[in-house]
Amino acid sequence: MAKFQNIMEILKVLPKTNCRQCREKTCMAFAAAVFKGEKELALCPYVPAEVIEKYGTQKLKTRNIDEDLDNAVNQLKQKIRQTDLAAAAGRTGGRYDGQKLTLKVMGKDFGVDADGNLHTDIHANPWVTAPILNYILCCQGTPLTGQWTSMRELPSGKDWYHFFQHQCEKALKKLADSYTDLFEDLVHLFDGKQVENHYQSDVSVVLRPLPLVPLLICYWRAEEGMASNLNLFFDTTAEENLGIQGLYALGTGITRMFQKLAQRHGVPVSSIN
């Protein structure tokens, strides 16, 4: 029986009409539920019979997404072994010292050598490592425009925004609501730059998770009758330099990193997750 390797493969066999007959809000949400083993592919009445036959009517075995990511990181390391790191340094805004390519990741060095070994002090979870390696492999080197845009407005962002909003923006908002030193820590520990307030936010901080993929975090504090809010913005070139899946993974990885940081500072887990 064939197996889907990722959510996008499942999405490709769906009509993308978001008709909700599968009781998910979008085809993308349904694809993710199938990938996680929570829904059967056959619950979408529009999947052709031959596809159901190929992939089976049963739910996929419940998958451990972190395990999948570890596998993805190992596959990316293998591709790194076939990559010209000196040329990649030119495209990615990194530097090559004859042995390894080093990128600045939120102010800290992240190196990878020709054997795919990582050299870094960052406590990088696979959600962060995978997009960094992907960036080295796929970054087109498109210069930044300096113009910010939301994930939803990126060329392929519409399908991913629902997940991104849930996994990253809402999770970070919850974190910012309870961990009041968050933005100060982003500036001091992760080389963030407090910038002029964008979109009339109360706090605007720019991070550089990758040289050609800056991230703008805007936070609005709760006010009388108004809940707090947090949005993330990318440079308009972000998809060319990391790809939409890479941006989603990066946002999720950064969110997890900051959640761990907050826990280390004594913020209760219940206020974070």
Binding residues (CB under 6 A) for ligand SF4: these are 14-15, 17-22, 24, 27, 30, 44, 46
Residue with tokens 């075995």: 61
Q: How far is the CB of 45 from ligand SF4 (least distance, A)?
A: 6
Residue 27 beta carbon to ligand SF4: minimum distance, rounded to whole angstroms: 3
Q: Which two tokens stand for residue 102?
A: 């080093």
Cα pseudo-dihedral 94, 135, 257, 159, rounded to 10: 150
Residues facing 112 on adjacent strands? 101, 118
- Of 44 and 249, which CB lies nearer to ligand SF4 in the complex structure? 44
Q: Which is nearer to ligand SF4, 30 or 164 (CB)?
A: 30
Closest CB to ligand SF4 among 163 and 219? 163
* Shortest distance (Å) from residue 33 CB to ligand SF4: 9
Give the shortest CB-1-to-ligand SF4 separation in angstroms: 20
Q: Pick between residue 14 and residue 230 the one whose CB is nearest to ligand SF4.
A: 14
Q: Which residue has the tokens 């901080």?
A: 205
Which residue's CB is nearer to ligand SF4, number 15 or number 143?
Answer: 15
The least CB distance from residue 239 to ligand SF4, in Å, is 23
Q: How far is the CB of 61 from ligand SF4 (least distance, A)?
A: 20
Judged by beta carbon, residue 29 or residue 230, the one nearer ligand SF4 is: 29
